[in-house]
């Protein structure tokens, strides 16, 4: 294939290959977040060829390119059967989980307004709901009402339903929630939402394509359209649908609800615009890759991959629970979990999950550090380390478990980095700068933010430190708006030419 290319093009592709050397490995199971490796090389080849065929097709207009509608219809149909939706369930393929979540919120907001809702609508959800809903609330003008969860990440149905009122446009529950893999009390919340006339979205972005086959012998509590009152569900194809990034499904119960997701206008001098999703022009490549993979796997293929994830998840969580000083948080449902320190043990036997993640990384495995979180009721969720298990994990299981054990042995008894540690280690005068920022109405600008980052050892455009535990502790101890501004500066600096 590359033989048809000129030398210049070949050189350009070589540069791309070289750029990838710096990236975390997307295959092989060493990265336990971000990537979802089926372990089946054929699926990657199939997806690449599907993208190649459909790459130039514009998903903007399924009337000009009927292939787009055909693939989308198949995917929506498959997802509807998988999620126990009846004939009244329909939906769209979107570019990813965030877009599905944004559109679920937009739809609920517009349905609420059409039913006479006025003012700012409210979105009720457990605090563990994905940050995409915080983004949606911010973008779309809803008040976000986050309900505290217990220490094991679980929320009580009545804690959510107690917040219901005429201004609530949407309640969101997750299957499961990303931080701790807790399965929210979906059936009870959906039933109460229906009685109150409130839309209920199930965020199954991560669980949607794996939970249907998770527990064939011991059914999970009802979490999909089989629960009356569930009005929409998001399920990401580019997670446990094993598709390349850029594909998710959003389903609605009720055609009119689905139609409320659309944007249409003929009030400009150009072509009439009708968009099911947020993007306009888009390649049909991601849709085609997802379609091809779902066609290839079918029910039985997904069931086999889910069974592999299940075996590996059980093995990993059992191994972690057996490590002195660590514990798996709550009762995770699905191929992911969070790990916290075991506070029932004396300090010298505890393992701090962030020191642990840093050590695991030095052994060649990438886990995801999650900060602690102060909830609105004053209770604190501990900082944790997140693992997502995929089918490829099974092929590296003994090595992974060995690395998890060894790393724990290496940091057992090392106390967690505290806010005082990190604030005390900051350059002299840093505290004064923070204080003056706090007392000032003008927001900090880019120059000030990059100076603050430099003060904590992060150069503009530079790499993150080898050890992430101190950085996480720092981010956790600074005021949230300042942390958020510094993170923006850090990421914006990466692409600033
Ligand atoms: C991944 C995820 C999202 C957001 O999806 P993106 O594909 O990253 O945009 C939303 N909710 C949950 C539960 C997720 O795991």
Q: Identify which of 65, 164, 168 has the alpha carbon closest to the alpha carbon of residue 112.
A: 168
Residues sharing a CB contact under 8 Å with residue 373, sequence separation 6 or more, in sequence order: 127, 380, 381
What kind and span of H or E run contains 46? Answer: helix 41-54
Mutate which of 205, 232, 389 for ligand 1? The one with the most ligand atoms within 8 Å of its CB, which is 205
The atom of ligand 1 lying closest to the CA of 99 is 9
pLDDT, mean of residues 368-383: 96
Query: Does 236 sit in the ligand 1 pocket, CB within 6 Å?
Result: yes
Query: What is the model's pTM?
Result: 0.97
Name which of 177-181, 472-476, 487-491 the model is least confident about: 472-476
3-state secondary structure of 169: strand
Q: Is 494 exposed, middle or buried (0-12, 13-18, 19+ CB in 10 A)?
A: exposed
User: pLDDT-based confidence at 2, cuts 50/70/90?
Assistant: very low
Distance CA 198, CA 344 (A): 41
Q: pLDDT tens digits, residue range 364-374?
A: 999 999 999 99
Exposure pattern of 267-281 as b/e (b: 16+ CB <10 Å)? eeeeeeeebbbeeee
Q: How many whole angstroms from 97 Cα to the centroid of ligand 1?
A: 4
> What pLDDT score does 441 carry?
81
176 preceded by a cis bond (ω within 30 of 0): yes
Taking 60 as the threshold, does the pLDDT of residue 139 lie above it? yes
Q: pLDDT tens digits, residue range 255-314?
A: 999 999 999 999 999 999 999 999 999 999 999 999 999 999 999 999 999 999 999 999
> What pLDDT score does 151 carry?
94
* Fold type of domain 50-294: 3.40.640
- Segments making up each domain of the chain, as ranges: 50-294, 419-495
Q: How many whole angstroms from 334 Cα to the centroid of ligand 1?
A: 14
Average pLDDT, the chain: 95
Within 295-349, strands assigned E span 326-328, 336-341
Q: How many whole angstroms from 202 Cα to the centroid of ligand 1?
A: 12
Query: Does 110 sit in the ligand 1 pocket, CB within 6 Å?
Result: no
What angle do helix axes 285-321 and 41-54 make, rounded to 10 degrees? 160
Query: Does 285 sit in the ligand 1 pocket, CB within 6 Å?
Result: no
Share of the chain above pLDDT 70, in %: 99
Taking 90 as the threshold, does the pLDDT of residue 443 lie above it? no
* Closest protein CA for atom 7 of ligand 1: 97
3-state secondary structure of 285: helix
Q: pLDDT tens digits, residue range 447-488?
A: 999 988 888 888 777 778 888 998 899 888 888 999 999 999
Q: In 3-state terms, the chain is what percent helix, strand and coil (to 5)?
A: 45, 15, 40
């Amino acid at each position: 294939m590359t033989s048809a290319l000129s030398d210049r093009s070949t050189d350009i592709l070589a540069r791309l290959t070289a750029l990838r050397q710096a990236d975390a490995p997307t295959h092989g199971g060493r990265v336990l977040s971000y990537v979802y490796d089926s372990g089946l090389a054929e699926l990657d080849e199939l997806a690449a060829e599907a993208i190649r065929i459909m790459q130039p097709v514009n998903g903007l207009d399924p009337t000009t390119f009927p292939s787009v509608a055909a693939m989308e219809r198949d995917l929506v149909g498959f997802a509807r059967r998988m999620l126990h939706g009846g004939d009244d369930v329909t939906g769209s393929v979107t570019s990813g989980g965030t877009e599905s979540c944004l559109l679920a919120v937009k739809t609920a907001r517009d349905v609420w307004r059409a039913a006479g809702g006025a003012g700012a609508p409210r979105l009720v959800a457990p605090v563990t709901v994905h940050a995409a809903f915080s983004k949606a609330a911010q973008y779309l003008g809803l008040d976000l009402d986050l309900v505290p969860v217990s220490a094991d990440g679980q929320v009580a149905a009545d804690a959510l339903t107690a917040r219901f009122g005429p201004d609530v446009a949407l309640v969101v529950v997750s299957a499961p929630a990303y931080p701790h893999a807790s399965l929210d009390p979906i059936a009870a919340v959906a039933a109460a939402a229906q009685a109150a006339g409130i839309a209920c979205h199930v965020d199954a972005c991560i669980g949607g394509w794996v939970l249907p086959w998770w527990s064939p012998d011991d059914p999970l509590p009802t979490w999909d359209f089989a629960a009356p009152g569930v009005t929409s569900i998001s399920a990401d194809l580019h997670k446990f649908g094993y598709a390349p990034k850029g594909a998710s499904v959003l389903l609605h119960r009720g055609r009119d609800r689905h139609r409320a997701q659309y944007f249409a206008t003929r009030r400009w001098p150009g072509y009439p615009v009708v968009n099911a999703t947020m993007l306009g022009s888009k390649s049909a490549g991601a849709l085609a890759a997802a379609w091809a993979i779902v066609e290839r796997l079918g029910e039985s293929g997904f069931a086999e991959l889910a069974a592999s994830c299940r075996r590996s998840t059980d093995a990993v969580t059992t191994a972690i629970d057996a490590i002195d000083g660590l514990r798996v948080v709550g009762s995770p449902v699905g191929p992911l979990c969070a790990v916290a320190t075991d506070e029932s043990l004396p300090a010298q036997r505890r393992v701090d999950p962030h020191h642990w993640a840093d050590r695991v990384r030095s052994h060649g495995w990438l886990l995801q550090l999650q900060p602690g979180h102060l909830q609105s009721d004053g209770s604190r969720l501990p900082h944790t380390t997140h693992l997502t298990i995929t089918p490829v994990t099974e092929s590296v299981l003994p090595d992974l478990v060995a690395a998890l054990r060894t790393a724990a042995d290496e940091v057992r008894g090392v106390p967690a980095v505290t806010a005082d540690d990190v604030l005390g280690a900051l350059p002299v005068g840093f505290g004064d700068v923070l204080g003056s920022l706090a007392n000032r109405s003008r927001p900090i600008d880019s120059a000030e933010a990059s100076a603050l980052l430099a003060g904590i050892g992060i150069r503009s455009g530079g790499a993150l430190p080898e050890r992430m535990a101190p950085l996480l502790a720092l981010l956790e101890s600074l005021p949230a708006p300042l942390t958020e501004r510094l993170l923006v500066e850090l990421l914006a600096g990466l692409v600033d030419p």
